[in-house]
Structure 1
Amino acid sequence: MDKKPKKTPSARKPYTFKRVSENLYKVTETGGYYALVKRGGKQIRRSLKTTDKALAKRRLAELKQKASKLRTGKEHACITFEKYSERWIKAKEASLKSQTIRRMKDCLKGIRPYLGNNLIRNITYQDCERWLIGRGKELKASAYRQERQLMIGVLKAAERDGIILDNPATQLPNKKMPKIEIHVPTHEQFRLLIKQMRQADSRGIHGAYLVELLAYSGMRLNEATNLMWSEIDLDRDCFTVTGGEYGTKN
């Protein structure tokens, strides 16, 4: 029995663009409007996402205003994502803690293989999506959110500096943080825990003191281990939490 040849889908017909006015075009088949703007030798084409001519003209005016702010100098045209990110992080060092800066640099290492060598001005959502597919799905929610936020922050600065028209990273989906169920021991359970720690060995005795300090003060581990005698006021029964070299989170 002869097999019937499979029908192949017909090739999609190209759209026909009709010039309506300066920089404004209409798609004959759908009635939608497109903008075509040139800036510094670069052609910018955008769907205005409407079939209403008046609305299309307003959106075109907004697009032209944004495009007029794009810088055309060689310095901005040739800078890569990696170089611009390093400069952006360097500028943040004056206002952020060193621990936060280190975390940003770690995030940049994860993004670098996907966007590092790309020119900032040429980055599209498809480039950001390569990170999403190649790395994003493997990251835990907290690490994913940090790298995504770094990408958005860098490209937002590039948008502010007139290097790109829009920030494509904002379209990346966020990842929900898993809900962690916290089991708080009762006072009796906590006292029993401390007692067992002290009965272990000499290290357990010191560890028990630290656990009690954390529990009754509400300090974070880094804050407690960096507490100095000079920060303790025995006369007033209080102490000052500074967090040591890296400071406190809040």
Structure 2
Amino acid sequence: MAMKKSKYTGVYYDKEADKVQVQISLGTDPVTGKRNRLKTMVDENNKPFSSLTEANKFVVVQKAKYFKTGAYAASKMSFDTFVDNEYLPHYKTTVKPQTYEHKLNGIKVIRNFFGKRKLKDIDVKLVNDFRIWLVNYGYKPSYSSGLFSTFKRILSFAEQLGYIQDNPAHKVKALPKGKAKVAFWTKKEFEKVLAQICIDDVYEHLNYTMLTLYFMTGMRVNEATALYWEDIDFKRKQIHVCHNLLIKNQKEFERSDDLKTTNANRFISLDDTTVEILRAWKDKQKEIGLGHKKDFVLSFTGKPLIKSTISRIIKRYAALANIHSIQAKGLRHSHVSYLINEFNIEILKISKRLGHSSPEITYRHYAHLYAGADRDIANEINGTINFSSSKESNVHFQGNQFIKKNTVPEVSPKDTKTA
């Protein structure tokens, strides 16, 4: 029988039967010592699985039922076992692969904190202890807040499956996210960086092109690293953002069309200078055997750039330019700052250019950059009002209105003679 593995543990595709099949182990029977195995091509309603994802959901439910009634009864289930065998397989079916990988380390932090503690023994005090630990450990407020929210969701899933009666985390105050500020470069700082790069060197030419592309388009890090030359239309002077790079290293990567938001698939217009910089880099690539339609734009080896490399490039030239360093995503913020502070571009246009799901997202992240964006209003109203005042008061106060006056006391003629 030709069985093809899937990304889900215990879920396979039977090529001959053209059906999805589940084959899982439910551990060892504590009485007989035999392994409990489940092998089926149908769900609880005796219907064939419609997809690999549906089959995996079936697996999660079946394991939950076994753990509650078999060797891992609810009273014995430890937190780390629940996370590994229940929550992670479930969570993986609800988010995109890159989101799962991004959140995995945080979930491990939570799992390791509670470890072998039984689910039923996690009470309000333990939850509060975890909250205090997050505050004191040294994480950024936004990261700590995210971990605590994730912990709440884990316990909510345990409640949903019947391992605990209620979620004690709901009785503990959530952690504030704080104000996350992403450092960025101003126009002058960006110009100082470019002035340090010698484009006669192939690698430095790549660095020059990469920094320009990010600063002048505001693309997400993995959107730009996924670009092929066929995604750039030099005649129309625009880039088609339609892929995202899922990458661990230069040997393990995937160019995916599964973008962060539905609006992330977009066209970005290019200015003439950026077009010429990209043309020059493409010509340079051709000299070293690249520059074809399906070659990565940001590459000089044929392999895509990785985020850590981009960060090192930024740090190197920031030091040479004697300015502060920024994160790779700081180049996206730099682009927005440039559009707002130099041209006062309206938020809707910026939102579409960035590929945000809504203008509200853009405003929430970048509203603080509009601090001086109303200068044109001040310039417009300048000198339009005739500011004048009366030389004497025309108001006669009545009633209880009273103004205390600083007056000089009257001096009588008698006092004057005495003096």
How many angstroms apart in 2 are the aligned matches of 1:193 and 1:104?
33
Length-normalised TM-score, structure 1:
0.60
Q: What residue in structure 1 maps to residue 141 of structure 2? A: 141
How many angstroms apart in 1 are the aligned matches of 2:223 and 2:121?
44
Matches within 5 A, 1:171-250: 171-180=172-181, 182=183, 184-186=185-187, 189-198=189-198, 202-241=202-241, 242-245=243-246, 247-250=258-261
**1:113, CA displacement in angstroms?**
3.4
How many angstroms apart in 2 are the aligned matches of 1:91 and 1:243?
24
Structure 2 unaligned segments of length 5 or more: list them. 1-64, 247-255, 262-419
Given the superposition, is the C-alpha separation of residues 135 and 183 from structure 1 closer, same or farther in structure 2, using an over 3 Å criterion? Answer: closer
Larger radius of gyration: 2
Q: Look up the SS of the partner of 1:244 in the other structure.
A: strand
Amino acid at match of 2:105: D
How many angstroms apart in 2 are the aligned matches of 1:140 and 1:200?
41
How many angstroms apart in 2 are the aligned matches of 1:109 and 1:183?
31
Q: What residue in structure 2 maps to residue 81 of structure 1? A: 79
Q: Look up the SS of the partner of 2:197 in the other structure.
A: helix
Q: What residue in structure 2 maps to residue 109 of structure 1? A: 108
CA contact (8 A) 1:89 1:104 kept: no
* CA deviations over 1:43-91 (Å, ceiling 9, x no partner): xxxxxxxxxxxxxxxxxxxxxxxxxxxx995433332222222222212
Matches within 5 A, 1:16-165: 73-74=68-69, 75-86=73-84, 87-138=86-137, 139-165=139-165
CA contact (8 A) 1:141 1:175 kept: yes
Given the superposition, is the C-alpha separation of residues 156 and 202 from structure 1 closer, same or farther in structure 2, using an over 3 Å criterion? Answer: same
How many angstroms apart in 2 are the aligned matches of 1:233 and 1:200?
25
Quote the RMSD (CA, aligned, Å). Answer: 3.0
CA contact (8 A) 1:104 1:150 kept: no
How many angstroms apart in 2 are the aligned matches of 1:232 and 1:192?
27
Residues paired across the two proteins, number? 179
How many angstroms apart in 1 are the aligned matches of 2:126 and 2:199?
58
How many angstroms apart in 1 are the aligned matches of 2:217 and 2:209?
12
* CA deviations over 1:131-164 (Å, ceiling 9, x no partner): 2334442122232122212101111112222332
Amino acid at match of 2:88: I
CA contact (8 A) 2:78 2:119 kept: yes
Given the superposition, is the C-alpha separation of residues 206 and 161 from structure 1 closer, same or farther in structure 2, using an over 3 Å criterion? Answer: same
* CA deviations over 1:190-225 (Å, ceiling 9, x no partner): 344323324695433221111111112111222211
How many angstroms apart in 2 are the aligned matches of 1:73 and 1:179?
42
**1:226, CA displacement in angstroms?**
1.8
CA contact (8 A) 2:123 2:168 kept: yes
